[in-house]
Chains A and B, each alone.
Chain A
């Protein structure tokens, strides 16, 4: 049996599945239910400074992009940080941590960008016995208007400064949660590292308008006729998040910075992909908000089964294994030639490959009068569009052309050697092949 126990920057938990700082972790009741359901850890919903708590809207705070059968593909929210009293939260954190010493509790924080504010709250958090803190530099709605959340996360100098304060006034691990609402994720990650962060977590939500009510002519969710941009999350954001994770993981400067992966993780496979890209653990929110806490059972059993099948004894055994294979386009092997191949036994003759290729690509699929579809290798550029639009999985596959054979499209012999853009004759800046 694979060992799922997790040690993330010194914070241990029975498994690598944490609930992200969000509505599911807003209070003791939910967090206890989460631990009982099997979650390894939680990042407690963001606390703010002492004083009157923030208030939330009293109309709808979520909007969703639905797939077929109302599958939740993307979730948008305009909820702010906790709207409960600071001390009530702190008391609850302390109680739950005492009852669940083996589970991870990290406290998310967002206070004004002033040293005094951080200096005031950090000892209070330290006193709860929580395992660490996560700095919310990510929320793009509401709090950003008050100079917090993503307003901080978008300025690397602020990230570095606040992280340094936290390391100064708090003894346990400091995780910096990054906003994706920037142009280059490597900059804030490096800033966090310079400030002494133990880890980064990403992504926070993406600024978004999820839909427009065409009757009310207003963004949704709509509050009394008006809407505002909210934070987008759920399965739809996973590709964006994974690219950002990979950029941090493969950049030499930040390659040793631990990463907690967040963004659309719904199944064990999503989690494994994040980990393969270098994440030490993962955080989940939308999947839990859609299906309830029980889904963690599938994540654990699935990851465990897959690790057993692959022979990975622990998460560290495969963590980051895909990172060396993330590269720049210029290093992709241009001598690697594949052609689409249609398995006629599996083909159901829907013609989608034909329509896609004929109308929008390279006219490389031939349709016979009796609806048999075949690939014309002389036109196929191996774009993969037919593979992706085919409704039958694995009916169309890309077959590698063996070195020594002739590519019918280019009439050139396929060579075994690697050849990329850096050495390509069409590249004005090409360097001589070694």
Chain B
């Protein structure tokens, strides 16, 4: 007999392939043509619309929705892509409930916003499915730009520069592009290998070369980049993982959540991926939710997500928290790990209850223990491998409002740089805006 949810230890095949396929299907089904027309009709075409202000990439949302309503989703997609070339992925992964949809006047009035995210996906899917690219490159500028990282920031920067007539080379440390879109997002938010398809579609504009397996500090350096290119953009993301800083962290079954999420995304067969019967996740962001939910979907019998502060402080949105609980994840607020104990192959995590007094988090003195076969650390990522010449601030590359670093002709954006939330959409905005500033600087 095969394994089941109640098989002891860390094992694969807790669910059969069919059950796994059902569990990991698209979180939000795509809108049909008619559903899109009905959903688009709900948009009021607000003046100076709050949704546009709330969008980090300032997509003209009322316009693109109206273009759907009038039967021209391709024109709609172009409106989206003009501001956000990764509009397809953002339609899937943006926390719209805390961005555009949160401020939709119909959310405010009725608690039911226009479904901006799903409509954006409808439009972008339509155009991308046609296999065409809506932008043409300007006449060659004769200038070149080197980019570190083929994640959302680097790709957005590269695309904008390519359209403006630059030749761009991207150096990517991994063997695949897409960054967190490829490695760091829950599988049910990006089904059917969408990140790679989007990458290929983006590159079809031309003028962008990606060199895979090239790491800063090993294969390339700030000095060589500055010598080889007219401008340099760093969009290298956060490759490090924050430590729990508690006893037992070094135990084998205490795992970085980002690695497991990546394993899930890269798995050819999810039934071959092992997961614990009892899983404990420590953290409070999207990564914590993504790993907790996916552990449950893989067949873990019980999954506890433990966060040190209260519900409202959690950086994962209420929607994400509800998603987690609806999938059977138990969220424990106000508890922080004290130590991880080894009990044979199994683990036990001791937590201390916390409370916030005058803005300060303190332990109450009470503790409890959770049994765990696997413990996932999801308490944030950190910058590693940034060239020493770049000034850091708060652990990130310090940039001004145009994305410029302290080093001339070097820009940075996305998670590795200061400013903005660590979201795909923010990274796209920063990459795009850096590209425009590079253009202004080089040819202005």
List the interface of chain A (C-beta within 8 A of B): 68-70, 348-352, 354-355, 367, 371, 391-392
B38 in contact with A351 (CB, 8 Å): no
Contact between chains at A352 and B47 (CB < 8 Å): yes
Complex Cα spacing A286 to B34, Å: 23
Is A371 within 8 A of B38, CB to CB?
no
Stretch at the interface among B104-112, B244-252, B341-349, B364-372: B104-112
In whole angstroms, what is the CA distance A282 to B271 when docked? 67
B45 — which chain A residues lie within 8 A by C-beta?
A: 352
Give the A-binding residues of B (Cβ under 8 A): 34, 37-38, 41, 44-50, 105-106, 108-109
In the complex formed, the residue of B with least CB distance to A373 is B47
Does B47 lie within 8 Å of A348, measured CB to CB? no
Q: How far is the CA of A391 from the CA of B38 in the complex (A)?
A: 16
Query: How far, in angstroms, from A4 to B256 measured CA to CA in the complex?
Result: 76
Do residues A349 and B105 form an inter-chain contact, with CB atoms below 8 A? Answer: yes
User: How close is B39's CB to chain A, nearest CB, in angstroms?
Assistant: 10
Expressed in whole angstroms, the Cα–Cα distance for A224 and B105 within the complex equals 47
Nearest CB in chain A: distance from B13 CB, A: 45
Contact of A348 among B48, B49, B109 (CB under 8 A): B109
A-B residue pairs, 4 tightest by C-beta:
A351-B47, A68-B41, A355-B47, A348-B109
Contact call A350/B38, Cβ cutoff below 8 A: no
- In the complex, which residues of chain A have a beta carbon less than 8 angstroms from the beta carbon of B37? 68-69
Q: Given A349-B50, A349-B105, A371-B50, is A391 in contact with B41 using a C-beta cutoff of 8 Å?
A: no
CB neighbours of A392 from chain B (8 A): 109
The chain B residue with its CB closest to the CB of A356 is B47
Contact of B106 among A68, A70, A348, A351 (CB under 8 A): A348
Complex CA distance for A391 and B42, rounded to whole angstroms = 10
Given contact pairs A68-B37, A68-B41, A69-B38, A351 touches B109 in the complex (Cβ within 8 A): no
Residues of B within 8 A of A70 (CB): 34
CA distance A348 to B49 in the complex (A): 12
Instruction: Report the Cα distance A380→B15, complex, angstroms.
Output: 68
| A-B pairs with beta carbons under 8 Å apart, 6 shown | A68-B41, A348-B106, A351-B48, A352-B44, A352-B47, A392-B109
Chain A residues with Cβ below 8 Å from B47 are 350-352, 354-355, 367
Query: With a CB–CB cut-off of 8 A, which chain B residues contact A367?
Result: 47-48
Nearest-CB distance from B37 to chain A (Å)? 7
Q: How far is the CA of A351 from the CA of B46 in the complex (A)?
A: 6
| A350 in contact with B41 given A371-B50, A392-B109 (CB within 8 Å) | no
B41 contacts A69, CB within 8 Å? yes
With known contacts A68-B38, A69-B38, A371-B50, A349–B108 Cβ distance under 8 A: yes
- CA separation between A127 and B37, bound complex, in Å? 53
Q: How far is the CB of A174 from chain B (nearest CB, A)?
A: 46
How far is A355 from B50 in the complex, measured between Cα atoms in Å?
14
Rounded to whole Å, the gap between the CB of B131 and the closest CB of chain A is 21
Interface SS majority for chain B: helix
Is the CB–CB distance between A348 and B108 below 8 Å?
Answer: yes
- Cα–Cα, bound, A349→B51 (Å): 12
A390 vs chain B, min Cβ distance (A): 10
A69 contact set on B, CB distance < 8 A = 37-38, 41
CB <8 Å contact, A348 and B105: yes
Q: What is the bound-complex CA distance between A295 and B44, given in angstroms?
A: 30
Q: Complex formed: what's the CA distance from A367 to B47 in Å?
A: 10
Docked Cα-Cα span, A72 to B122, in Å, equals 25
**Chain A residue, CB-CB nearest to B46:** A350
Q: Which residue of B lies closest to A68 (CB)?
A: B41
Docked complex Cα distance between A355 and B45 (Å): 10
By beta carbon, the residue of chain A nearest B40 is A68
Complex Cα–Cα for A4 and B68 (A): 46
Q: Is the CB of B46 within 8 A of A352?
A: yes
Whole-angstrom distance between the alpha carbons of A393 and B105 in the complex? 15
Across the two chains, which residue of chain B brings its CB closest to A389?
B44
For B48, the chain A residues whose CB sits under 8 A away are 351, 367, 371
Q: B339 to nearest A CB, angstroms?
A: 50
In the bound complex, CA of A349 to CA of B46 (Å): 8
Which of A70, A349, A352, A367 gathers most chain B CB within 10 Å? A349
**Most chain A CB neighbours (cut-off 10 Å) among B47, B49, B105, B106:** B47
Specify which chain B residues have a CB less than 8 angstroms from the CB of A348 in the assembled complex: 105-106, 108-109
- With CB as the reference atom, state the residue of chain B lying closest to A355: B47
* Bound form: Cα–Cα A351–B104 in Å: 12
Nearest CB of chain B from residue A65's CB, rounded to whole Å: 14
Closest B residue to A391 by beta carbon equals B44
4 additional contacts (CB under 8 A) given A367-B47, A371-B50: A348-B109, A349-B50, A350-B46, A350-B47
Q: Report the separation of the CA atoms of residues A46 and B45 in the bound assembly, to the nearest whole angstrom.
A: 46
- Residues of chain A with a CB closer than 8 A to B105's CB: 348-350
Give bound CA distance, A351 to B50, whole Å. Answer: 10
| CA–CA, A351 and B34, complex, Å | 28
Give the chain A neighbours of B38 by CB distance below 8 A: 68-69
Q: How far is the CA of A352 from the CA of B45 in the complex (A)?
A: 8
- Choose among A349, A350, A355, A371 the residue with the greatest number of B CB atoms under 10 Å from its CB: A350
Neighbouring B residues of A354 by C-beta, 8 Å: 47
- Complex CA distance for A394 and B253, rounded to whole angstroms: 62
Q: How far is the CB of B239 from chain A (nearest CB, A)?
A: 41
Chain A residues with Cβ below 8 Å from B34 are: 70
Q: B109 — which chain A residues lie within 8 A by C-beta?
A: 348, 392
Chain A residues near B44 (CB, 8 Å)?
350, 352, 391
A352 cross-chain contacts in B, Cβ below 8 A: 44-47
Residues of A within 8 A of B49 (CB): 351
- Bound-state CA distance A70–B46 (Å) is 23
Instruction: Kindly report which residue of chain B lies nearest to residue A70, judged by CB atoms.
Output: B34
Complex CA gap A352/B48 in Å reads 9
Closest chain A CB from B51 CB (angstroms): 11
Q: How far is the CB of B149 from chain A (nearest CB, A)?
A: 38
Residue of A nearest to B44 (CB): A350
CA distance A391 to B105 in the complex (A): 11
C-alpha gap A73/B68 in the complex (Å)? 20
CA of A391 to CA of B41, assembled, Å: 12
How far, in whole Å, are A70 and B106 apart by their CA atoms in the complex? 22
Q: How far is the CA of A348 from the CA of B106 in the complex (A)?
A: 8
Closest-by-CB residue of B relative to A66 is: B37
| Chain A residues closer than 8 Å to B108, beta-carbon distance | 348-349
| Least distance between A248 CB and chain B CB atoms (Å) | 37
Closest B residue to A395 by beta carbon equals B109
> Who on chain A is nearest to B47 by CB?
A351
The closest CB in chain A to the CB of B53 belongs to: A371
A367 CA / B45 CA spacing, docked (Å)? 16
Residues in A neighbouring B41, C-beta threshold 8 A: 68-69
Complex Cα distance, B45 from A145, in Å, reads 45
Instruction: State A350–B46 Cα separation when bound (angstroms).
Output: 5
Q: Which residues in A have their C-beta under 8 angstroms from that of B46?
A: 349-352
What chain B residues lie within 8 Å of A350 (beta carbons)?
Answer: 44, 46-47, 105
- A330 shortest CB reach to chain B, Å: 37
A373 to chain B, nearest CB (A): 9
**Max chain A Cβ within 10 angstroms of own Cβ: one of B34, B41, B45, B49:** B45
Closest to B109 in A: A348
Instruction: Name the distance in Å between B44's Cβ and chain A's nearest Cβ.
Output: 5
Task: Find the A residue at minimum CB distance from B38.
Answer: A69
* Residues of chain B lying within 8 A (CB to CB) of residue A391: 44
B369 → chain A closest CB, angstroms: 50
Of A69, A351, A354, the most chain B CB neighbours within 10 A belong to A351
Alpha-carbon gap, A272 to B255, bound state (A): 72
Q: How far is the CB of A29 from chain B (nearest CB, A)?
A: 32
